[in-house]
Amino acid sequence: MVKRIHQVFDEKVVGQEALRTALVSCLLAGGHVLLESVPGLAKTTAAHTLAAAVSGEFRRIQCTPDLMPNDIVGTQIFNYATGEFTTQLGPVHANLVLLDEINRSSAKTQSAMLEAMQEKQTSIGGVNYKLPDPFMVLATQNPIEEEGTYVLPEAQMDRFLMKEVITYPTPDQELEILRRVANGQMDRPVATEPVSLDDVRFLRRLVDDVYVDDAVKRYVVDIINTTRLSGPRPVQGLGRHVRVGASPRGGIALMRLGQALALQSGRSFVVPDDVRAVRYPVLRHRLVRTFDALADNVPPEQLVDAVFDAVPAP
């Protein structure tokens, strides 16, 4: 099933193996992903392709400063013929929802999305409406343009299971993109048969059953505590660059994504390398850097590496 998802992805997206692994792992782990890159690097295409690969309903929401909560969760409409209100569900009621440029929406709208992401439900006219299962949010933000944007608060960033930073394709991959556009392959239907939503629910249950030994759990806890300037082997000088470390959600994310990676590798147990493989997407947005780190342009990945180098793997 996982192989078929990967095959559908490769038919529409050239390269971007890290993005594919991140999206599939996040889907299997039951979380949401934050994608950061400059425009034009196939974020929307990747989200649309993932929905097609799992036969899921896809919706895209373009975030703007005037976007209101009702525009995404839904609203009540008065029917003059019957004299009654009817509920019209918004675009967030889909299996995969792409929130394009999430940092352009106001805090009020982001709070409505937060309820959908965390509670898996929306509230319209005092009535709760359950979201489809599976439900996954793919939010994007542009790092090069900050004018007219609202910086995501740390509490909201923490609710994204992972943050993937997308890089430019290699020259060979970019040449393959041009070939596919020229011969019309990008517009053709997907040849690989997609999996079903029931298959996704089955894979999620399998992820829950992937064994995580207490030694690996202790490894995760030691890593998270080291980011908080404590742990068995504190990193010297880390406090000069890290103001706030990762929350318990960070530890849960390391374990859950480790389980998802193990499943994709055909294993029924998590090894420390699984945890190490997801260290950047899980922790890069959970470490709050100090002013000195921001002024010196110290990347969060460098701080994450320092933490992992200090904690011995079981």
Q: Each residue of 197-255: pLDDT tens digit?
A: 999 999 999 999 999 999 999 999 999 999 988 878 888 888 888 888 888 999 999 99
pLDDT at 149: 65
Least confident span in 79-88, 174-183, 295-304:
79-88
Cα–Cα distance for residue pair 78/167, rounded to 1 Å: 47
pLDDT digits (tens, 9 = 90+) for 127-174: 888 888 889 999 888 777 666 566 777 777 888 899 998 888 889 988
Q: What is the pTM of this model?
A: 0.85
Report d(CA 68, CA 156) in Å as an integer: 18
Mean pLDDT for all residues in the chain:
86
Do 50 and 153 touch, CB atoms closer than 8 A? no
**How large is the C-alpha radius of gyration of the chain?**
21
80 vs 148, higher pLDDT: 80
pLDDT, one tens digit per residue, over 269-290 is: 999 999 999 999 999 888 888 8
Tell me what pLDDT residue 145 has. Answer: 65
Query: Which residues neighbour 122 within 8 Å (Cβ) at sequence distance 6 or greater?
Result: 73, 74, 89, 90, 92, 93, 112, 115, 116, 128, 129, 131
Q: What amino acid occupies position 252?
A: I
The predicted structure's pLDDT at residue 147: 62
Structure token digits, residue 157: 């960033």
The CA distances from residue 32 to 39, 136, 276, in Å, are: 20, 5, 20
CA distances to 68, 79, 257 from 29, rounded to whole Å, are: 30, 41, 6
Distance in angstroms (rounded) separating the CA atoms of residues 157 and 226: 20
d(CA 26, CA 56) in angstroms, rounded, equals 15
Phi, psi of 165, deg, nearest 5: -100, 120
Query: Of the ranges 102-106, 130-134, 188-192, 305-309, which one carries the lowest mean pLDDT score?
Result: 188-192
pLDDT at 313 over 80: yes
Q: Of the candidates 263, 248, 281, which has an alpha carbon nearest to the alpha carbon of residue 208?
A: 263
